[in-house]
Chains A and B, each alone.
Chain A
């Protein structure tokens, strides 16, 4: 009797497991279809009857012919009057991302450490102010930041268009310190006893931060670095406003690719080249995420509980 019951249970478990597989596979397909389509479009190499290349969106999901023409065009084409525009945009973004990564990570860690492990009068007010500032829509200050940077010549002015990149780095990294919550949550978990005993041994707060907290904080350092490094590759709107619509040599890759779809003639509606660009941009970012997945998940989970 009990044996029979056990059997039927395992059977129902099996069906429920099978059902789970089915649902997950269907969901995976839904999740992958748009991405697959972009990859396929990047390799699409179709020609019209009169021999002109079809670079726009077409209604067939699977291309009729494959080739590397889009990638070749992407890397050699002159967009918006800029020679080798795409490699330049990649390089611009890489430079901005590296500088932003260093500054932002440093600011976040220093603020998080203070908020978590040091006691001082302004601690609570500082946290409240940081929270209130975070509630203003970013775009509101974006426009003011633009005016501010413009008044000190750090947007795309005619004489020094390259200064706009400095402006963009400042805009990305300056506010980073106020996003300390996740890192603070992480530091909170580090036992205070550790800090106290180091203090008894005569360590200064600086030494404690350098020798005790930082080595333990590797996961959160990697998480913050990953976030701030990928930020400039993902952001589109700040880059567009601060670098400026008519400053094509100094665009980041997202502004450049967007303009291949919605720009001004004749550089617009180059969908297959856009797709090729997306593949080129996505590969390093996705690889980075996959390698550092563990740290990313840790950071996300910590962030969930801390808000």
Chain B
């Protein structure tokens, strides 16, 4: 079967079973669906058990800060048809709760631990140790876009002695040329 036919078949079957699925086609062997978050476990289960998408390649997350949402992306692979399907869903950023899916693929457990630590997403019923990669972490989830790395570093780590002699480039040049920067302009300095 040609790739286009495979894609059409997948779209038809998915839309028949999951009325909220909205497809988006990409060139070659990629096909995307967006669904409500409640649909995620059943659509993943269906794709795995009924349509040959046996392999979970990846779970990823995007922080749509301005829209107040996280986007979760599940990437599946069908070894027979050589096609990948992306399942997208949106989660409320102020209450980021998702269903745990590690009973469908055991390896999802690892990805979910990563999402939990890096984005603060809670997976209902996830059984895993509290810490993943970050040791003794006490800050907010660091992959969130409103995480201020610089402020965190300044607060958390002590200043190594011997760094007090650092100079500001702009001020060094100012001093050399005799330029006097007016007070009201200073807020536009780098």
Tell me whether A and B are bound partners: no
